[in-house]
Amino acid sequence: MKNCDIAIIGAGPAGLTAAMYAARANKKVVLFEGLTAGGKLAVTPSIENYPGASSTDGFELAESMRKQTVAVGAEIVCEGAEKIDFAARKVYTYSEAYEYKALIIATGARSGKLGLGNENELVGSGVSYCAVCDGAFFRGKDVMLVGGGERSRVDLKYLAGLCRKVYFTTQGIAERESYENVEYIDKAAVTKLSGNPLSEVTVEQAGEERTLAVSGIFIDTALTGESRLYAGELETDKNGFIVTDDEMRTSVPLVYAAGDVRAKTLRQVVTAAGDGAIAAATAIKEIKAAKKV
């Protein structure tokens, strides 16, 4: 059994920022890294909207965050958390148990996928799961948006203002907006992605296939919280995202959530980092208060 002041699950921008802030406050911090530091950021080919870094590689930015976090004294454990015992305040990996005073969950979100064979290899080469993140790379080009719901309505407005043409493909019937450069393709499914980088998308509608020349496809199918570790223990919304207050408190005392795993409206590197800083500051304050009780 090992002990720490603050355990942080998830080594994306939210988790790394929280670890840095907590370690700088002289707290003993253990950060659990499932695969690689940086999370989805580490596999993002290009970042152009992070303040102070007008154009940078996602892995480079993630590695810079990791080095900064380690330099101030946070411990990064290269194992994912397998179980949380909220009552006993313990995190378990395959090889060890860690007792904590406060816990920050920063496990991120899971993007829904089309399920096509070459989808993963085209991420960063025409396939994107975030219009706000990557839309600017397709300014003046033809693209496709796949999805439905409120998130897609917001993304459609954003892409329509940037791109030459947007094909909006839904499995249902989309509510029409007055965009001159948007073509709606209702009750349809994407069946094929062609080219590397992406150059064509094939959709099936009413039993017929249609191939469209596009430079990018934005996939807005259901985004859900990475809820395996906290399902049934913390208050969540219908999509598995953790409900918090403005100071990142969850429904369980001394447990906080930060980054894309939270129920929120904007999921970006900069908002994740902000969440992480707030979560750490709240945890530090409330650990100190708990000692006085």
Torsion of CA 142, 147, 150, 156, to 10 degrees: 0
The candidate with the shortest Cα–Cα distance to 77, out of 96, 63, 100, is 96
Six token digits for residue 20: 């840095």
202 C-beta neighbours (distance < 10 Å), count: 15
Contact (Cβ atoms closer than 8 angstroms) between residue 187 and residue 259: no
The per-residue DSSP string of the chain comes to: -EE-SEEEE--SHHHHHHHHHHHHTT--EEEE-SSSTTGGGGG-S-B--BTTBSSB-HHHHHHHHHHHHHHTTPEEESS---EEETTTTEEE-SS-EEE-SEEEE---EE------TTTGGGBTTTEES-HHHHGGGGTTSEEEEE--HHHHHHHHHHHHTTSSEEEEE-SS-PPP---TTEEEE-SEEEEEEETTTT-EEEEEETTEEEEEE-SEEEE-S--EE--TTTTTTS-B-TTSPBP--TT-B-SSTTEEE-GGGBS-S---HHHHHHHHHHHHHHHHHHHHHHHH-
Torsion of CA 43, 217, 159, 151, to 10 degrees: -80
Q: What is the pLDDT of residue 77?
A: 94
Distance (Å, rounded) from C-alpha 149 to C-alpha 153? 7
For 289, list phi and psi in degrees, rounded to 5: -65, -35
Per-residue pLDDT tens for 216-270?
A: 999 987 677 788 899 999 999 988 899 999 999 999 999 999 999 999 988 888 9
Q: What is the pLDDT of residue 234?
A: 96
The candidate with the shortest Cα–Cα distance to 27, out of 292, 288, 291, 290, is 288
Sheet holding 200-205, edge to edge: 188-194, 200-205, 208-213
Strand partners, 183: 167
Q: What is the pTM of this model?
A: 0.74
275, with CB counted inside 10 A (0-12, 13-18, 19+), is buried
Sheet holding 127-128, edge to edge: 127-128, 216-219, 142-146, 165-169, 182-185
The candidate with the shortest Cα–Cα distance to 114, out of 3, 37, 26, 198, is 198
CA torsion sign for 135, 196, 113, 258 is negative
| Mean pLDDT per 10-residue segment, the chain (293 residues) | 96 95 97 77 71 78 91 94 96 95 93 88 93 91 88 87 96 87 94 97 95 96 81 91 97 96 88 97 94 64
Distance (Å, rounded) from C-alpha 128 to C-alpha 6? 34
